[in-house]
Amino acid sequence: YGCERVGALMNTERFGEHWWYIDGAKHLIGAQRKNEGGWGGVTDTCFALLFLRRATRGHAPTTGLGGGNAHVFAAGDEKSDVRLRGAGQQPLSLWIDGFGEDLLDLHSDYGLRIESVVYEDEAGHVLTKLAGDHTKAWKKETFLFRDKAIARGTHKIRARLRILANDCAPGETEPVEDLTSDWMEVKIRDVLEPWMATATNAYRDNILRSEKVKITPSSEAERNPAKNLIDGFESRRWLAVEDDKAPTVTFAWRKAQRIGRIMFTGLAQHERERSKYDHFAIEFAVGNDRKRWTRIEVPQDSLKPVIFDLPKARKMRSIKIRFVERVRRNGQLGLSEFALLPPEKKPKIR
C-alpha cells in the first residue's frame, strides 16, 4: 500500500523498470486465498484492497472475474494459450499476463516471437496496436496499454497477437500465425464525465451556502434533514416522509441576491439507482408571489443535475419549490442538492 501511495502522489506508473501496479496486482491475485477471498488477517486484506482499488487517486475498479477478485478483470487461466488481464476504470489498464505451457513448449526451439499485439472490442474496434520484436524470444513483456477514453458500460475485450510459427527459422519472417485470447468482460462505472466537473464547480458557487438560510420543508425523513440540500455533498440528501402528499421546501434569507440559474440533483447517485426513486416535476415561486409558479421539467432517471436558466435574472430573498405529478416507485422523494447560482458572465466582445 505504501507503493500505491508513493506512485499515486508522484503521478508515476513505474519505479525504475517496474510497473508497480501491474506487478503488485499480479502478486496479490496469486496470494489471494481462494476459499475466503482475503489475504491473511483483516489488516492485510484491507491494505490489499486499498492497493487494488488505487485508493489514493480514486481509480477504483468496481467489478472483476466472477467468483474471483472483485477489483481486476481477467480472461484465460494457466492452461490458456494467452492470459489477458485488466485493471482500473478510466484509464483502464490492459496487459498480457503470460502464455500457456503447451504453447511455450511448442515454441521451445526458437522461443515465442511476437510480431504485434492488438487489443480490440467485440464490435471490431481496435483500441491499440503494439509492435513486438519478432527477432527475439518473448521474455515476459506485458504489452501494457492504458485506455483513457473507454466509455461507461459493459465491454468485451480481447488480445489478438501475430506470432512467428514455431518452425520459422531465425532470420525469416514467415510463416506467421494468429493467436487470440478469450473475451474479457469489463464493466466501467467510475467515469468522470464532463458534466460532473461542471456540477461540482457550480455547487461551490451556490449562493445559499454563503447566506444564513432558513430552510422549511413540509416534512423530512429521519436522518435525511433538509439542511443536507445545501451542504455541498451529494452523498447526503433530503427526503420527504412517505405519506407527505404535497412535498415542498422553502428557502429564505435576509439580504436580496441576484439569481440567474437554479440547479438541483436528484436522489440517484449510481447507474443501479436510476429507476429506484419516485419521479416528479418541480415548480417554484419567488418571494410572496404564490400565484405564479414556474415549472421545471425533470428528466426521468438521469444522473445529471438539472440546470434551469431564468429568462431574466431576479433579485430574491426567498424561494419555494413544490413537487408535482409524482410517480411512485419505492415511496422515496427528495433531492441531494439544491443551488441558486448567479447569472453567467457573458464574455466581453472586443
pLDDT reported for residue 295:
96
Instruction: Please determine, for residue 69, whether its predicted confidence score (pLDDT) is greater than 60.
Output: no
- pLDDT-based confidence at residue 190 (cuts at 50, 70, 90): low
CA distance 166 to 109: 8
CA distance 178 to 184: 18
Per residue in 219-236, pLDDT (tens digit) is: 999 999 999 999 888 778
Instruction: Please determine, for residue 59, whether its predicted confidence score (pLDDT) is greater than 60.
Output: no
- pLDDT-based confidence at residue 153 (cuts at 50, 70, 90): confident
**Residue type present at position 315:** K
pLDDT reported for residue 109:
94
**The Cα angle at residue 218 between residues 217 and 219, in degrees rounded to 5:** 85
pLDDT reported for residue 8:
75
pLDDT reported for residue 103:
96
Please tell me whether residue 16 adopts helix, strand or coil conformation. coil
- pLDDT-based confidence at residue 61 (cuts at 50, 70, 90): very low
CA distance 331 to 347: 45
pLDDT reported for residue 91:
80
Instruction: Please determine, for residue 40, whether its predicted confidence score (pLDDT) is greater than 90.
Output: no
Instruction: Please determine, for residue 64, whether its predicted confidence score (pLDDT) is greater than 60.
Output: no
Please tell me which residue, 310 or 10, carries the higher pLDDT value. Answer: 310
Instruction: Please determine, for residue 104, whether its predicted confidence score (pLDDT) is greater than 60.
Output: yes
Please tell me whether residue 9 adopts helix, strand or coil conformation. helix
User: Buried b vs exposed e over 315-331: b needs ≥16 C-beta within 10 Å?
Assistant: ebebbbbbbeebeeeee
Give the 3-state secondary structure of 224-256.
Answer: CCHHHHHCCCCCCCEECCCCCCCCEEEEEEEEE
Superfamily (CATH H level) for 194-341: Galactose-binding domain-like (2.60.120.260)
- pLDDT-based confidence at residue 201 (cuts at 50, 70, 90): confident
Q: What is the mean pLDDT of the chain?
A: 87
Please tell me which residue, 27 or 164, carries the higher pLDDT value. Answer: 164
- pTM (two decimals): 0.55
For residues 92-117, average pLDDT: 94
pLDDT reported for residue 349:
63
Instruction: Please determine, for residue 200, whether its predicted confidence score (pLDDT) is greater than 80.
Output: no
pLDDT reported for residue 11:
66
pLDDT reported for residue 160:
97
Say whether domain 67-190 belongs to CATH 3.30.70: no
- Domains of the chain, residue spans: 1-58, 67-190, 194-341
Helix (H) or strand (E) holding 309: strand 306-327
CA distance 146 to 156: 16
Per residue in 235-270, pLDDT (tens digit) is: 789 999 999 999 999 999 999 999 999 999 999 887
